[in-house]
Structure 1
Amino acid sequence: MDLPYEHSRFLDRTLDYIKNDARMLGLAVAGSCITNTMDEFSDLDFVVVVSEAHYEQVMLERKQIASALGNLLVAFTGEHVGEPRLLICLYDHPLLHVDLKFVTRSDFQKRIEDPVILWERESVISDEFKKSSPIHPMPDLQWIEDRFWVWIHYMAVKLGRGELFEVIDCLTFIRAIALGPLSLVTHGQLPR
């Protein structure tokens, strides 16, 4: 895996920490590392696999764990993106965005992608991969069709009133929810 220098240094520190914590069963990386599109502006998307027996304790300590990995500026959980297991972190020296998603081995039964395994204790991640395949949610065409023209009407009314920021918000929403995913699927890509 070809990573920018600072990302590679952070990954090495993270691996050292995870390997030395007996509660941890593995470390994988997702995001742009999977698609080989990582550059100096990318974040690191780690998946930290925790033993079931220690999961609750680790979830309570995840900010302390994040602090041990580098100069942590801020960290918050990912409920706003529908992922409460996620800890979104910003580090300094270097300034780096890192996502730490804490899961148990059984969480890999339902996944949208196969992250790259960086380290695992006794092949726990590899074994879970063999039990199931990733399934990425695809756009629901009928759901989009049922709503699309109402969205367009709503946007036209806002445009008629001169509420341009509302129009921009609506265009952004339609691109993210419908047009972007549909275009990607049409071209053989995942809808993200």
Structure 2
Amino acid sequence: MTDMTGTLPPLHATFLENLIATLRRDGRFEALLAGGSLVHGGFDVHSDLDLVLVVRHEHHEAVMAGRRTFADGIGALISAFTGEHVGEPRLLICLYGPELLHVDLKFVCLSDLDHLVERPTVLWAENPDGIAATLGRASIEWPDRSPEWFEARIWTWLHYGAVKLQRGELFEAIGMLGFISEQVLGPMLHRRAGRPQRGVRRIEDDGPATAALRPLVARHDRESVAKALNQATRLYLDLRNDQPPRPTTPGFPELLLPLLTVG
């Protein structure tokens, strides 16, 4: 169990101290875990708190039903919404204030800790040895995508951006370029550097990766968008060579190229 409140920015430390005090008084909870930057490093005053609250199995349904009320009781809650849009209905995404703090609260049972994407830090546990043993048995695997996952999607997404370019819907095309960077090119650049595929998170710490992605940031201009889409195509083909998928998509990129030009 880690006491890191003394090393955190005051806003984050105070929030965690209040939350831990609340959990100690509430018999429905078994532990508080932390992930994200507290695990990967780089935590600073701008960081979110990615928290996992371990709930006793018999209380999980009731806690889930009342989680907004719970979140409101641990700070000055401004807004909160659930995480179905990221495939995680157990997640409550919260914004506290007036000094703004983003906190993700995920409510799980002990049995949910058998498969994890990262090894969390234990901030508090009623039974520290038991939590440590559970985490020690857990399978830890970051959800990296396969070469085939990227190949199956990239050409459809590039085609979408290209037809928006041809139609003059440049904001749509620019949005797709950002999406492709986050979903495909950023992860593949992380893969090239031997890191977990974390989208474009902290990609600026990698000079070559930043240089590769910078030309994909287009202006609201047809020629700029066309250049960015062409660069995205070339960058994908280069990164694909690191771990070629089997099979590759027939006819591409040749079928796409006429749509990546502007008159």
Report the TM-score when normalising by structure 1. 0.95
Query: Does 2:181 align with 1:175?
Result: yes
| Equivalent-residue separation in structure 2 for 1:46 and 1:150 (angstroms) | 36
CA drift of 1:119 comes to: 0.9
Same amino acid, percent of matched pairs:
46
The one-letter amino acid of 1:45's match is D
Most deviating of 4-13 and 122-131? 122-131
CA distance in 2, matches of 1:120, 1:71: 24
Tell me which of 6, 20, 34 is aligned to 1:29: 34
**Which whole-Å CA distance do the structure 1 matches of 2:44 and 2:52 have between them?**
19
Higher-RCO chain (CA-CA 8 Å, sequence separation at least 6): 1
Matches within 5 A, 1:111-190: 111-123=116-128, 124-190=130-196
Partner of 2:226: none
- What residue ranges of structure 2 are gaps of 5+ in the alignment? 199-263
Secondary structure of 1:84's counterpart equals: strand
In the alignment, residue 121 of structure 1 is paired with which amino acid? E
* Letter of the 1:130 counterpart: G
C-alpha separation in 1, matches of 2:21 and 2:98: 18
**When the two structures are aligned, how many residues end up with a matched partner?**
192
SS at match of 2:139: coil
Shift of 1:133: 2.5
Per residue, is there more strand in 1 or in 2? Answer: 1
Deviation at 1:77, TM superposition (A): 0.8
Aligned partners of 1:158, 1:54: CA distance in 2, in Å?
50
CA RMSD of aligned residues (A): 1.3
Structure of larger gyration radius: 2
- The runs of 4+ residues in structure 1 deviating greater than 4 Å are none
Runs of 5+ consecutive residues of structure 1 not aligned to the other structure: none
